[in-house]
């Protein structure tokens, strides 16, 4: 069975390569934003006028009409595949929107993380024959050559920190002054389907399930606690540094506000602020990776988490309006502090990383309802808010059982997971998939057939959907009604 794997490495381009890759990023972003603007224009026109019957709104991959020797001469200075890939990324974004995986494509900002998607025509991995060691694994090095012909950029140096297979496409990105190389590939593993794992564990006895199951409780004070009594949190040094970085970020943001927009000094302050933000993000990623790896490498085989709707939990409160038309206090400031604490605890990342790592070794991750897990007693099942009057202590008002509050909540989560498994209430969620290039294929008919071209209908189009008119070349005919 094949499993999609993604990997991300640091890369170190030369100054010449940085300039060229930055130009590639800008031109690809321009094509993407132009397609978004084109789509917005057509949708606005569609709302305001009556279109003739059968005139559908096309969503194509045409980009040639954006190239102009007079207005956009810089588009001729980059490979045509870079521009084509910009239109393809727009099409892929719309495909995700149609499948309910994301919202409608929006404009990409210039002053955020920048990336360029490069297909196999413009890069090549060449084996060097050298190898290195990392944790008893042999990592074979390759030379990555970028570009071709007059757009040849030469070798892009990158640091391979893990094993990898050769991909069909790569993405080069830059953020906070650092450059990264990322790609995905398919790896053949002896993976058992998730439904078979569920059926197998559901057939085991309660005693055996209790031994191999681990429950987890996630909170803002202690990010993760398990039923075994272990808690996982950031180190004291990490907490201290994140507080200091947050304070420095506000300092640099104040400096930005005082400096002239577009100036070099403002850009330097902006870069410093972004680097402060990236430190906290890197710490959370590292914490989630190390914590999930400890879970998967343990002797437990079933991992139970609460199905926490983090997106809904971190929504801003709705404004309250009084009878006189004025707005009343709604606790927005207090809720903002809670939202910040929730997002900084890396709730979602711990479960996400545990899920994909467990799938590689044929272990199971399930979710249970989170209602009243901190108020229910694991001994007598008595549920009441008074059972947890403090953050740290759980004390049942019915049977008198006491335990660390977070550890006890993890025990309740574990019991619910075992009960759901034995009752057959755990099912495989239907995953929504979209086309991604895993093998070296052309971006012609295969790509066009794999994507939807319009809302509510499909089409069999060629390389650039040439059978459909461009949305910018010609305004659709309208029907004028006179009264």
Nearest partner of 209 among 415, 458, 441, judged by Cα: 415
- Find the farthest-apart pair of alpha carbons in the chain and give their distance in angstroms, rounded: 82
Residue 16 structure tokens: 């010449």
Asked if residue 354 lies in contact with residue 302, where contact means CB atoms within 8 angstroms, the answer is: no
How far apart are the C-alpha atoms of 25 and 302, rounded to whole Å? Answer: 43
Q: In 375-457, which ranges are continuous DSSP H helix?
A: 405-423, 445-450
* Coil/strand/helix, residue 155: strand
**Contact assessment for residue 10 and residue 178, using Cβ atoms and an 8 Å cutoff:** yes
If pLDDT is split at 50, 70 and 90, which confidence band does 320 have? Answer: confident
Domains and CATH numbers, the chain: 2-188+437-450 (no CATH), 204-233+281-423 (3.30.420)
Across the chain, mean pLDDT equals: 84
DSSP letter string, 82-108: HHHHHHHHHHHHHHHHHTTSS----PP
- Percent of the chain residues topping a pLDDT of 90: 53
User: What value does the mean pLDDT take over residues 221-232?
Assistant: 92
DSSP of 1-35, one letter per residue? -EEEEEEEEEEE--HHHHHHHHHHHHHHHHHHHHH
Higher pLDDT, 128 or 82: 82
366-381 pLDDT tens trace: 999 999 888 899 889 8
- pLDDT of residue 265 exceeding 90, the answer is yes
What span, in angstroms and rounded, lies between the C-alpha atoms of 421 and 416? 9
Within 53-156, where are the H helices?
Answer: 80-98
**Count of Cβ atoms closer than 10 Å to residue 214 Cβ:** 22
C-beta of residue 310 within 8 angstroms of C-beta of residue 347: yes
Query: For 206-221, how does the pLDDT look when each residue is reduced to its tens digit (9 = 90+)?
Result: 999 999 999 999 988 8
Per mean pLDDT, which range of 34-43, 101-110, 280-289, 449-458 is the poorest?
449-458
DSSP structure class, residue 472: T
Going by pLDDT thresholds of 50, 70 and 90, the confidence category of residue 5 is confident
Cα–Cα dist 39/62, whole Å: 12
- Can you give the pTM of this predicted structure? 0.80
Q: Which residues contact 186 (CB under 8 A, 6 or more apart)?
A: 2, 3, 4, 5, 165, 438, 439
Distance between CA atoms of 268 and 258, rounded to whole angstroms? Answer: 13
Q: Are strands 213-218 and 302-306 parallel, antiparallel or unpaired?
A: parallel
- Euclidean distance between CA atoms 205 and 418, whole angstroms: 10
DSSP 68: B
CB burial of 139-163 (b: ≥16 within 10 Å; e: otherwise) equals: eeebebbbbeeebebeebebebeee
Q: Taking Cα atoms as reference points, which of 472, 480, 471, 466 lies closest to residue 56?
A: 471
| pLDDT tens digit sequence for 165-188 | 889 999 999 998 899 999 998 887
| Size of the chain in residues | 483
pLDDT tens per residue across span 267-317: 999 999 999 999 999 999 999 999 999 999 999 999 999 998 888 888 888
Residue 8 tokens read as 């991300």
Structure confidence by residue, pLDDT tens digits, 404-455:
999 999 999 999 999 999 998 888 876 666 555 555 444 443 443 443 333 3
């Amino acid at each position: 069975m094949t499993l999609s794997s993604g990997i991300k490495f640091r890369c170190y381009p030369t100054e010449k390569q940085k300039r060229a890759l930055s130009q590639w990023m800008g031109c690809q972003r321009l094509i993407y934003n132009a397609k978004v603007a084109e789509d917005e224009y057509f949708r606005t026109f569609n709302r305001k006028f009556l279109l003739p019957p059968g005139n559908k709104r096309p969503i194509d991959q045409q980009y040639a009409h954006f190239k102009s020797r007079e207005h956009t001469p810089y588009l001729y200075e980059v490979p045509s595949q870079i521009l084509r890939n910009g239109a393809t990324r727009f099409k892929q974004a719309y495909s995700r929107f149609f499948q309910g995986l994301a919202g409608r494509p929006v404009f990409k900002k210039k002053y955020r993380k920048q990336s360029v998607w490069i297909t196999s025509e413009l890069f090549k991995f060449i084996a060097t024959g050298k190898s290195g060691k990392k944790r008893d694994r042999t990592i074979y090095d390759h030379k990555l050559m970028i570009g071709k012909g007059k757009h040849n950029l030469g070798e892009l140096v990158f640091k391979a920190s893990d094993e990898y297979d050769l991909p069909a496409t790569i993405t080069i990105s830059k953020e906070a002054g650092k450059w990264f190389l990322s790609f995905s590939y398919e790896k053949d593993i002896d993976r058992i389907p998730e439904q078979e794992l569920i059926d197998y564990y559901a057939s085991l006895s309660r005693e055996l399930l209790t031994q191999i199951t681990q429950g987890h409780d996630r909170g803002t004070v202690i990010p993760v606690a398990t039923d075994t009594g272990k808690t996982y949190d950031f180190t004291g040094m990490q907490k201290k540094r994140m507080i200091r970085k947050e304070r420095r970020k506000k300092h640099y943001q104040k400096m930005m506000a005082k400096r002239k927009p577009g100036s070099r000094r403002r850009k330097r302050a902006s870069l410093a602020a972004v680097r402060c933000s990236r430190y906290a993000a890197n710490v959370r990623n590292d914490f989630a990776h190390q914590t999930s790896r400890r879970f998967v490498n343990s002797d437990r085989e079933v991992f139970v988490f609460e199905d926490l709707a983090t997106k809904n939990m971190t929504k801003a409160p709705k404004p309250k309006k009084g009878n006189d038309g004025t707005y009343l206090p709604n606790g927005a400031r207090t809720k903002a502090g809670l939202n910040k604490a929730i997002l900084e605890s890396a709730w979602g990342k711990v479960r996400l990383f545990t899920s994909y790592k467990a799938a590689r070794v044929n272990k199971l991750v399930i979710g249970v309802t989170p209602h009243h897990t901190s108020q229910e007693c694991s001994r007598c099942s008595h549920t009441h808010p008074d059972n947890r009057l403090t953050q740290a202590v759980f004390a049942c008002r019915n049977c008198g059982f006491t335990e660390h509050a977070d550890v006890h909540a993890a025990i309740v989560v574990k019991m619910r997971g075992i009960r759901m498994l034995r009752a057959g209430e755990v099912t495989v969620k239907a995953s929504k998939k979209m086309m991604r290039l895993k093998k070296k294929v052309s971006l012609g008919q295969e790509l066009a057939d794999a994507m939807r071209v319009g809302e509510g209908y499909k089409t069999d189009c060629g390389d650039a959907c040439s059978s459909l008119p461009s949305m910018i070349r010609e305004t659709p005919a309208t029907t004028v009604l006179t009264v």
